Amino acid sequence: MARDYTLQRVPRQTESQIDYAAELNPQQFAAVTAPPGPALVIAGAGSGKTRTLTYRVAYLLDNGIKAGNILLLTFTNKAAREMLDRVEQLVPQDTRDIWGGTFHSIGNRILRRHAELLGWDRNFTIMDREDQKDLMSSVVSESDVDPKAYRFPKADVLLDMISLSQNTNEDLDELVAWRYPYFDHLREPIKRVRAAYDKKKLETNSMDFDDLLIRTLELLRDNEGLRESYQKQFEFVLVDEYQDTNHIQAELIDLLAARSKNVMVVGDDAQSIYSWRGADFRNILEFPERYPGAAVYKIETNYRSVPEILTLANSAIMANREQFRKDLEPHRPEREMLPALIPVHDPNTQAAFVAQRILELRDEGIELEEIAILYRAHFHSMEIQMELTNRGIPFMITSGLRFFEQAHIKDVAAFIKLVSNRRDEVAYKRIVRMLPGIGAKGADKLWREWLGSPIGKGEVVTNFSEIISQFTVPAKAKKAWEQLGYTFDELIDDEGNGFRPAQMIPSIVGGVYDDYLRSKFSNYESRKQDISQLERYSEKFENLDEFLSQLSLLAGQDAVGATRQEPDKESVTLSSIHQAKGLEWRAVFVVWLTDGMFPNSRVIEEDDDGKGLEEERRLFYVAVTRAKDELYLTYPLVWPNAHNGEVLQRASRFLEEIPGDLMEEWRVGTGW
């Protein structure tokens, strides 16, 4: 007969021995020990935001709040794990019942319990991006969208449109009109596809990541008993990075905290930089209005940066009107080295300065992994990537693929390759598959026709369009195919040879590629800027083959470097500022600080109410507060341009707003 044996839980202390006043600074202590009720904690850059939230959870547990009655919402799983692990080390209480995680993970947890109330089964599938694209492509193929319609948005673009509409609470009609004006004539079919996509998700018992928030909100709104149950359970709601919440997340917080009003949100309005993906700056700015009587705590002691950098940062954000005023105070001693302002002649000189100074910093004892180069847009890093590659300085990119590895750069290069080598099968198929209605089999067939034509046989040809007009193409591709022929005609001279690369690139984009770029990629403007940068780079090459060889060598070095680089190998970080938020380095270079680059030209031109410019200034503030010891602010005085010669550049207005005595200007001369 089996014997029953019960394991007993080891008794633990019910209260920690934390001396909160000793372990926290006075501002952190005030926030951590705040009485019940709504509270907004403005935690400046490097001020110990995570420490404050962690100790707040410990303080609640020490004061008798049960772990299961605490909800901790974060934006990354890593942040949630770090905080909960730290809480577990701080207190003797069992912390496993705390509801801690990202908004999406908490939404998923609730939906797994109650999905049937919305028509889904509890075992619903969560689609990743590839799954979403497959489902959307299926919906489009089954819809009444005219298959001959020129350049209907690809699945990726449709999904981004729908997601942005949901996360900004903006009508899809209006969003298409102002953000995707080139699809304005397709608004009705886009809306029908959206409705069919939602229906298909329900039919297939699938949800996407946006659904994890939207359906959770819908569930709680429409089911009073369920809503009240969760409101009673979550006596205390804590939110990290509140400045990054969108309207759905803010509403979800309000709904869950409606009963107790014990909601503490932590963030920094000066680091609100994600409006382009739906974050609403007004959420943190208007929190005291959403919660009348809310206590506001400011944590302003910075443990990251030296005083010289903090003084500059405080000055940099001063011009913003919409903000909670604060003044970061340094904890570290002075370093007696001001941030450096470095005007240089052109982008290549800027790259040379950055590379040379990096090598000097390494010799001075700063490891390469403690150095970062930050920029507003990915294409700003092109010359720097080439310079680092040529000097053998290892680097890793957190803002996407290396410049010459990007799909749109390879696409444009394919046209030039095919003009240079008319038997380049890879380039040919890459081009024809961009056209509507042509897949892998169609590309194979068209390649055989190409090989059998005078072009493929190596004869001198000056009129591509006349020859390829005889090829058999699907009806859907006829218009684009005709335009492709005209495009190739523009790429060759009267002797059948290709023009200079800088002459070819505008013809490629203006001919067929711009339409493809719009329909294929949601970040059309950014990729268009990349191609403009490629054009400027190509201006130095008279010879087509020399240009293509250089592209291949750079891409090859990139690939070899990426393959050989071990995860822990010392390397410089190249990153967009958006990607760098939350990170820090001993030395930081912020590059391309000219008006039109940073702040972005589109913001300058379209910013009627000043809100866009204020977000750009917050982005600059985020950039400079990444630096711990040394900060270098660089900009080129001229920008070589094939059409207008050397274009003079004006220093960024953000630099002009900073008193000159807060920076040391470096005059860079050339020794060659």
Instruction: Please give the pLDDT value at position 646.
Output: 72
Instruction: Please give the pLDDT value at position 401.
Output: 64
C-alpha count within 13 angstroms, C-beta hemisphere, residue 656 = 8
Cα–Cα distance between 588 and 632 in angstroms, integer? 6
Residue closest to 361 by CA, chosen among 350, 351, 372: 372
271 is catalytic: yes
96 is catalytic: no
Give residues with Cβ within 8 angstroms of 332, minimum separation 6: 303, 305, 306, 307
The number of angstroms, rounded, from the C-alpha of 650 to the middle of its chain's C-alpha atoms is 26
Decide: 237 and 69 in contact? Cβ < 8 Å. Answer: no
Instruction: Please give the pLDDT value at position 14.
Output: 63
* Catalytic-role residue among 33, 50, 204, 356: 50
Buried b (16+ CB within 10 A) or exposed e, 376-388: bbbbbbbbbbbbb
Phi, psi of 137, deg, nearest 5: -60, -40
Instruction: Please give the pLDDT value at position 563.
Output: 34
| pLDDT per position as a tens digit, 54-108 | 999 999 999 999 999 999 999 888 888 888 899 989 988 888 899 999 999 899 8
Cα–Cα distance between 503 and 292 in angstroms, integer? 62
406 is catalytic: no
Residue closest to 286 by CA, chosen among 311, 269, 306: 269
The number of angstroms, rounded, from the C-alpha of 526 to the middle of its chain's C-alpha atoms is 12
Instruction: Please give the pLDDT value at position 387.
Output: 92
Give residues with Cβ within 8 angstroms of 191, minimum separation 6: 172, 173
Instruction: Please give the pLDDT value at position 422.
Output: 83
Cα–Cα distance between 421 and 441 in angstroms, integer? 22
301 is catalytic: no
50 is catalytic: yes
* Catalytic-role residue among 160, 241, 268, 308: 241
Decide: 634 and 588 in contact? Cβ < 8 Å. Answer: no
From residue 45, how far is each of 92, 287, 370, 613 by CA, in Å? 31, 20, 18, 20
240 is catalytic: yes
Instruction: Please give the pLDDT value at position 529.
Output: 82
* Catalytic-role residue among 49, 194, 581, 618: 49
Cα–Cα distance between 191 and 195 in angstroms, integer? 6
Instruction: Please give the pLDDT value at position 567.
Output: 42
Instruction: Please give the pLDDT value at position 206.
Output: 87
Residue 213 DSSP symbol:
H
Put residue 193 in one of left, alpha, beta given phi > 0 → left and psi -120 to 50 → alpha.
alpha
C-alpha count within 13 angstroms, C-beta hemisphere, residue 105 = 15
Residue closest to 559 by CA, chosen among 408, 384, 401, 412: 401
Cα–Cα distance between 192 and 662 in angstroms, integer? 56
| pLDDT per position as a tens digit, 289-319 | 999 999 999 999 999 999 999 999 999 999 9
Instruction: Please give the pLDDT value at position 243.
Output: 94
* Catalytic-role residue among 154, 422, 626, 653: 626
Q: Point out the residues of the chain with pLDDT beneath 70.
A: 1, 8-14, 147-150, 399-401, 553-569, 607-608, 641-645, 671-672
